[in-house]
Structure 1
C-alpha cells in the first residue's frame, strides 16, 4: 500500500499517544510555575544554586506547554472532524469540554482566595472567558491564572468551521507551504510587536514590557498561528505527505529548540523558537500510532494521565497557591523542598482526577453527544482534497 493510501485509510483512527503526551505538556507548565520565586512565589528551596538550576531548567516550560496545547488542539480537532458534524454540535461539545472545569476551578478560586465581590471588572471577564482580550495583568491572569489559555481556545473554536473549510480547500502539494506560512506569520507578528509595542514599563519577572507581553503571548489572535499550524499538520498526515521523521528525532529537535530558546531575546522564546519542533513531534507521534507502534505514551497509565491532564492543568495553580500560603514563605533544605514539590504535584494529579471523574466526563457523557447537520451551510463537511 502506498503511503498516501495508508494514511487516507487510517483517517479518524484513535491516537492514544497524543492523549498521553498531553500530561507531559501539563507537567511542564506545573514545573514552570513551581520554579517561580516571584509572581507565585512557590519555589520552596533555600539553596540559591538549586533555585537557579530549577528556574533555568524549567524557565521555558510554561511557554512550551501552552504552545504544545494550542498546536495539539488544532491537530486533534481537525483529525477528529467528521463529515456531517453540525456547527452547533461542534461548538456545544467544545463548550462542554472546557467550561465545566473552568466553572469548577473558578468557584474554588473565589472561595479559597476570597476574591472581593466588588471587583466585578476582574472576575466577570474571567468567568465569561473573555479576560485574555483585556491588556491588564490583574485581568488576564485573574482568578485562576491558567484559564487565560481557555479564552484563546474559545476564539479558535469560534473560527474553526471557517478555518477547516479553508484548510480543506488547500491543494495537497501546497500544504507544506501553508504550514511554513504559519511559522512565518508568527515570526513577523512577534517582530512587529517587538518593534511597535511600547517597551516600557517592564514587568518584574521578565525582560519585556507589559504591552509586549500581552500582545505577543496573551492576545488570542496572536496565538492563532499555532492552532492553524496544528490543523495543517493533521491534513499533511492525512494526505500522506508527512516526511516520516521518527519520534526520537522529533523529540531531539524539540529538546534542542528548548535549549536554544534560552539564548534568544525573551519574546522570541515564548513560542517562536520551539514552534516547528512542537508541530513535528505531534505529527511524528500521530504517525507512529497509526503504524501501531507501542511505547510509553500509549500505555494505559499514560493515556489515563492524559485524560485527566486538563483537570490537572486547571487546578494545579490553585493547589500551588494554597500551598504557598500555608508555607508562609518558608524555605527548606533540598530533600524537604523536593518532597513539597512532589506532594503538590501528586495533589494536582488527584485534583485533576476529581475534575475529570466528577465534572468533565459526566458532563460530556450526558450532554456531549454528536449531532447531525440539518442544513448544508451548517456543517463541518470536508470536501475532497484536491491534488
Structure 2
C-alpha cells in the first residue's frame, strides 16, 4: 500500500516542483491551465500520502511489538530503518543543490529537528521530503510509552478510542483556525504560515495519526475488525480523496481521509490474515512497497536537481509533459531501488539487530474465522 501513497506525493511535486530554493520551477507542461488543473487534482495527494504513512506506521509497529521486547533493540531497529537512507539523501541533496538555500548548513534537517521550527527555510530545506521523518522520530521514541495504555484498552472499547482519536484530529483543526495567527499568508495555501505549520508540520499534532494506526492494529490483533469488503474500503478511500478536493484547509489535510485510511488498512490486513491474496500482495506490488521509502526519499534529487540539470526551462504539450512525468516516475523508482538495495538492505542486515536478539514472533490473532493463523 505504501507505494500508492508515495506515488501521490511524487506526482504532486512532479507537476509543480516548488521548493524554497526554486521559486520559479520548470513545470512539465507549457500550458499554465494544464499545470494548474493537474496541481489542483494532485495537490491533496502530498498531504494525505504523508498522513497514510503515519497511520500505517502506527499499525505496523504495533503489529510487530511483543511484550517483553527490549526498548533498546526496538529503537535500534527503527533508527537503522530510516537513518542510513536519510543521511545519504541529505548529503546528496546538500552537495548537489540544497546548500545554496538551506540555512544552518542543513544540520537541523540532518538531525531531524527542522519540522519543529515554523520557518519554511528550515523544514523545506536540504532534502525537503525528510521533514516527515521529524514526526516519525517522535513516534518511535514515544511508542514504548504509548503502547502501555493502548494495550490496556478493553477490547470492547477499542473502536470507541479510534473514534475519539479522529475526534481529536477535528479539535486540532478547530484550534488551528481559532487560536493561531492568520498572518502572514503562506503562498499557495489557504492557511496562514503559522496555521499551515501547526496542522501539517508540527510533530506532536501528527502523533494523533500514529496513535490511530496503533489502535486499529490492536483491533485487528484482537479479532475485532469486521468483515469489511476490500472493494468498499477502496471506494471509500477514493471518495475521501475526492472530498479533499472540495473541503477547505485545514480539514482536508488529514481529517477527511483518516478514518477511510484506517478502515482500508484494517480491511486489507484482515483479508491477508484470512489467506486472501489481493492485488496489493502480488510480487510486483510487494517489491514496489519495499522500495517505496527509497522512492519517497530520492524524489527531491530527481525533481529539484536532475530535471533542472537535464531539462533546463523545458516545458511541453500535454503528450510530451505526460511522457516526461511517466519517465521521471520510472527514474525515481530506479533511484529508490538503488537506495533500498545499496543502503537500506545492507544497513538492516548488519546493524538492525544484535546477534543475541531472537527474531520477533508473530501475533496470534483472536479471530476464529481466520483461515491462516498469524
In the superposition, the TM-score normalised over structure 2's length comes to 0.91
Task: Report the counterpart of residue 192 of structure 1 in structure 2.
Answer: 175
Check the 8 A contact 2:2/2:53 in 1, yes or no. Answer: yes
Q: Does 1:27 align with 2:34?
A: no
Q: Does 1:158 align with 2:138?
A: no
Partner of 1:273, secondary structure, is: helix
Check the 8 A contact 1:216/1:222 in 2, yes or no. Answer: yes
Which stretch shows the higher mean deviation, 288-297 or 299-308?
Answer: 288-297
Check the 8 A contact 1:133/1:220 in 2, yes or no. Answer: yes
Check the 8 A contact 2:10/2:296 in 1, yes or no. Answer: yes
Check the 8 A contact 1:230/1:279 in 2, yes or no. Answer: yes
Aligned residues: 358
Task: Report the counterpart of residue 372 of structure 2 in structure 1.
Answer: none
Check the 8 A contact 1:237/1:283 in 2, yes or no. Answer: yes
Q: Deviations over 1:101-144 (max 9, x none)?
A: 00000110011116159x66251110101111111000011101
Work out which of the residue numbers 203, 207, 212 in structure 2 matches 1:220.
203
Q: Does 1:207 align with 2:187?
A: no
Task: Report the counterpart of residue 360 of structure 1 in structure 2.
Answer: 344
Q: Does 1:36 align with 2:16?
A: yes
RMSD of aligned C-alpha atoms?
A: 2.3
Report the CA distance between 1:370 and its aligned residue.
5.6
Which stretch shows the higher mean deviation, 323-332 or 100-109?
Answer: 323-332
Report the CA distance between 1:81 and its aligned residue.
0.8
Q: Does 1:239 align with 2:219?
A: no
Q: Deviations over 1:282-335 (max 9, x none)?
A: 111101111111121111111011001000000012211124423223311122
Partner of 2:245, secondary structure, is: helix
Output the CA distance in 2 between the equivalents of 1:337 and 1:241: 47
Task: Report the counterpart of residue 42 of structure 2 in structure 1.
Answer: 58
- 1:370–1:23 CA distance, 2 compared to 1 (3 A): farther
In the superposition, the TM-score normalised over structure 1's length comes to 0.88
| Structure 1: gaps of 5 or more residues | 1-20, 374-381
| Structure 2: gaps of 5 or more residues | 358-362, 367-374
Q: Deviations over 1:157-215 (max 9, x none)?
A: 01000111111011111111111111011110111111111111111111111100111
Task: Report the counterpart of residue 89 of structure 1 in structure 2.
Answer: 73
Output the CA distance in 2 between the equivalents of 1:306 and 1:42: 29
Task: Report the counterpart of residue 345 of structure 1 in structure 2.
Answer: 329
Output the CA distance in 1 between the equivalents of 2:160 and 2:356: 33
Report the CA distance between 1:258 and its aligned residue.
1.1
- 1:299–1:53 CA distance, 2 compared to 1 (3 A): same
Which stretch shows the higher mean deviation, 352-361 or 38-47?
Answer: 38-47
Output the CA distance in 1 between the equivalents of 2:57 and 2:194: 27
**Residues 372-387 of structure 1 aligned to structure 2 (within 5 Å):** none
**Residues 1-387 of structure 1 aligned to structure 2 (within 5 Å):** 21-36=1-16, 38-39=18-19, 41-113=25-97, 115-116=99-100, 121=104, 123-326=106-309, 327-369=311-353
Check the 8 A contact 1:260/1:273 in 2, yes or no. Answer: yes
Output the CA distance in 2 between the equivalents of 1:224 and 1:372: 32
Output the CA distance in 2 between the equivalents of 1:88 and 1:236: 26
Check the 8 A contact 2:9/2:46 in 1, yes or no. Answer: yes
Check the 8 A contact 1:85/1:371 in 2, yes or no. Answer: no
Partner of 2:254, secondary structure, is: coil
Q: Deviations over 1:328-360 (max 9, x none)?
A: 233111222112111111111111111110100
Report the CA distance between 1:48 and its aligned residue.
3.5
